[in-house]
Amino acid sequence: MFQKGPIGIFDSGYGGLTVMREVVQLLPEYDYLYLGDNARTPYGNRSFETVFTYTWQCVQYLFAQGCALVILACNTASAKALRTIQQRELPQRFPDRKVLGVIRPTTERAHTFTRKGVLGIMATQGTVQSGSYMIEISKFFPTLRVYQQACPMWVPLVENNEHLGPGADYFVQKYLQQLIQQAPDIDAILLACTHYPLLIPKIKQYIPSHVQLISQGPIVAASLRDYLQRHPEIANRCSQNGKREFLTTDSAEQFSQQASIFYGEALQAVQVHM
C-alpha cells in the first residue's frame, strides 16, 4: 500500500511560484511541495544534457519526499527534460509516478489565445531552440501562424528583482520589437516562461492595447484539475490537508524574502542540497 504525498512543483528558481499560486487557488484542498533550484538558475541558456541532469535530480528529490505527481512548472525543463523523463526514466525506475510539464496544456489551447490566428511566443533561449512550441502547435493547429522570440535577459532581470526598475525597459522593449517586427499583425503574445508574468506591467507599456498577453498559471491549473479528474489512481495518491511547503537549493532566507513577489503572499522556505 502506497503512502499519500504532496503534489510536487518544480522550477529552476522562483518562476514556478506564478503557476503554483494559480494551482493552489483552484485546487486548495491538496498538499503541495515546491522546489526551486535557485542555486543553479537560470536554466534558459544551458544545454539539453545539463537541463535534463538538473531537472531529473530535482524530480527524484521530490519523489523521495513522497510526491507521486510532479509538475515541471518551467518551460525550459518541460522542453528539454520532460520527454526523456517520461519515456526513458519513469518506465524503468518509477513506473508508478507521473511527471507533467507546462507546454502540452498550453499548446492544446493555443487557438483560443488569438482572434486573427497570429501568435507571438516569448521564451528562454532553450525553449525557443528546442522548437517544442512550434512542433506542438503545428500538430494541433496547423493554420496558426506562430512567431517566437528568445528573451535571454528577462529571467535574470526577474530573479534579481530588477524587472520593474528603469533598467528593465531596454530589454523589455528590445525583445518585443524583435517579435513584432517578425509579424506586425500578432494579436496575442504567450509568455512561455513562468518568470515572465512579473514583467506584464512593463510589457504593456510597449505593445498596442489590442494585443492580448497570455500567462500560463491559470492554464496549467485548469489542466491539472482535468488531469486529476481523469486519473483517480493518481489523485488518490495525493494527500489533501491544504499544506504548502517550499524548498530551495540556495539560501532559504533569500528565497523567503523574494518569493512573495511571485507567490503573492509571504512564505518560509527550507534549504536542501542536491
Cβ nearer to ligand DGL, comparing 5 with 13: 13
Where do we find the cell 497570429?
118
- The DSSP 8-state label assigned to residue 4 in this structure reads P
Cβ nearer to ligand DGL, comparing 5 with 36: 36
Sign of the Cα pseudo-torsion (103, 105, 111, 112, in order): negative
Does 58 participate in catalysis according to the annotation?
no
Give the neighbor-by-neighbor strand order of the sheet with 98-100: 98-100, 69-72, 7-11, 32-36, 244-248, 269-271
Where do we find the cell 517550499?
246
Binding of ligand DGL at residue 76 (CB under 6 A)?
A: yes
Radius of gyration of the chain (CA): 18
Cβ nearer to ligand DGL, comparing 185 with 200: 200
Where do we find the cell 486548495?
28
- The 125-164 contact track toward ligand DGL, x by CB under 6 A, reads --x---------------------------x---------
Nine-digit cell string for 65: 519526499
Among 124, 132, 215, 248, binds ligand DGL (CB under 6 A): 124
Cβ nearer to ligand DGL, comparing 74 with 179: 74
How far, rounded to the nearest angstrom, does the alpha carbon of residue 90 sit from its chain's CA centroid?
21
Where do we find the cell 498538499?
31
- The 93-122 contact track toward ligand DGL, x by CB under 6 A, reads ------------------------------
Among 12, 107, 215, 223, binds ligand DGL (CB under 6 A): 12
Piece of 27-35, 58-66, 74-82, 203-211 that binds ligand DGL (CB under 6 A): 74-82
In the bound complex, what is the minimum distance in angstroms from residue 79's beta carbon to ligand DGL? Answer: 8
- The 42-71 contact track toward ligand DGL, x by CB under 6 A, reads xxx---------------------------
Cβ nearer to ligand DGL, comparing 113 with 239: 113
Sign of the Cα pseudo-torsion (101, 86, 147, 12, in order): positive
Do the beta carbons of residue 8 and residue 16 sit within 8 Å?
A: no
How far is it between the farthest Cα atoms of the chain?
A: 57
Q: Which residues are catalytic?
A: 74, 193
List of residues contacting ligand DGL (CB under 6 A): 11-13, 15, 41-44, 74-76, 124, 127, 155, 193-195
